[in-house]
């Protein structure tokens, strides 16, 4: 496959900064989708607002660019009304977990089949570098000039607790794992959450002296490890990567079809 079969070429070069991890997510998401052999007409991408959300403009699917934080709510309407569609919802960390946190946990709880991708770059990039719920304490941001005192979320734990039936984490460095996890997440018949650690060299990296894009990716390489690895036992500070949850539980749209049968209607 060629990624060019899945993009709206006329809008390239894209708007993201040099070295932005979101482009790597786009790159490998398209490879994951390309490997599935689905018709582009069966795929709907719903996004919110932020740097990450601009991804929907570049892909040649049905695309719905919505409101800040609300992508999963719009996506729920699309999916429930037409369950045969494959719904992919890329979000940023602020989009998914600050303003959209409530929709995130409730979509997970319902187990409605869609793929939520959290492109976690730990900053609000579109507005110029304010701290996000994923920045973490001690980090610098335009709204945390004395260093951040906000604790951050663990997206994997949050998604697990909220009931997501597929939960995974990877990074923009680990591209083969990213494409593999995304492929499995899209195929999963339930609510999938894929956290992708992504770099914002412009705002998060520069302000926190983390080097350039490649340096930030090296950090992902050096500070993450496969789930349950020996390295993790030796160094608990490492962030685990891989698929944490993969459960088979009743999917929301299928359950609603049973309600229609019970009520005597026909789908």
Phi, psi dihedrals of residue 150, rounded to the nearest 5°: -80, 130
Tell me how far, at minimum, the Cβ of 175 lies from other proteins, in Å.
4
Residue 196 in contact with residue 26, Cβ under 8 Å?
Answer: no
Which stretch of DSSP H or E encloses residue 178? helix 175-187
Residues 219, 134: Cα–Cα separation, whole Å: 16
Nearest approach in angstroms of CB 52 to other proteins is: 13
Q: What is the DSSP letter of 17?
A: P
| Closer Cβ to other proteins, 75 or 144, answer by number | 75
CB of 144 to other proteins, least distance (A): 26
CA 87/CA 16 separation, integer angstroms: 23
Instruction: Select 112 or 168, whichever has its Cβ closest to other proteins.
Output: 112
Tell me the C-alpha distance between 69 and 50, whole Å: 9
Q: Nearer to other proteins by C-beta: 142 or 212?
A: 212
C-beta separation of 183 from 200 below 8 A: no
Q: Which is nearer to other proteins, 8 or 157 (CB)?
A: 8
Nearer to other proteins, 184 or 246 (CB): 184
CB of 161 vs other proteins, minimal distance in Å? 16
Between residues 40 and 157, which has the closer beta carbon with respect to other proteins? 40
Taking the complex as a whole, the smallest distance from the CB of residue 138 to other proteins amounts, in Å, to 26
Q: Give the whole-angstrom CA distance, residue 244 versus residue 235.
A: 19
Strand partners, 130: 124
Q: Torsion-angle region of residue 122: left (phi > 0), alpha (psi -120 to 50) or beta? A: left
Residues 235, 171, 50, 123: is their CA dihedral positive or negative?
Answer: positive
């Amino acid at each position: 496959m060629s990624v060019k079969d899945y993009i709206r070429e006329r809008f390239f070069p894209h708007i993201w900064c040099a070295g932005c991890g979101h482009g790597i997510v786009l790159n490998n998401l398209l490879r994951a989708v390309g490997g599935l052999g689905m018709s582009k007409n069966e795929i709907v991408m719903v996004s919110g607002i932020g740097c990450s959300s601009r991804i929907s403009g570049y892909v040649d699917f049905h695309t719905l660019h919505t409101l800040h934080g609300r992508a999963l709510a719009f996506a729920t309407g699309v999916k429930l009304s037409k369950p045969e569609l494959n719904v992919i919802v890329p979000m940023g960390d602020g989009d998914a977990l600050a303003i959209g946190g409530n929709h995130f946990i409730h979509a997970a709880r319902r187990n409605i089949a869609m793929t939520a991708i959290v492109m976690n770059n730990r900053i609000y990039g579109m507005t110029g570098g304010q701290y996000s719920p994923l920045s973490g304490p001690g980090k610098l941001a335009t709204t945390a000039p004395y260093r951040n005192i906000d604790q951050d979320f663990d997206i994997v734990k949050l998604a697990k607790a909220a009931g997501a039936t597929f939960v995974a984490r990877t990074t923009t460095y680990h591209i083969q794992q990213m494409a593999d996890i995304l492929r499995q997440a899209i195929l999963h018949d339930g609510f999938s959450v894929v956290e992708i650690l992504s770099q914002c060299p412009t705002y998060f990296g520069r302000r926190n002296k983390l080097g350039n894009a490649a340096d930030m990716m090296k950090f992902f390489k050096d500070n993450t490890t496969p789930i349950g690895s020996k390295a993790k036992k030796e160094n608990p500070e490492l962030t685990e990567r891989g698929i944490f949850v993969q459960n088979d539980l009743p999917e929301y749209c299928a359950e609603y079809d049973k309600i229609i049968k019970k009520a005597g209607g026909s789908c």
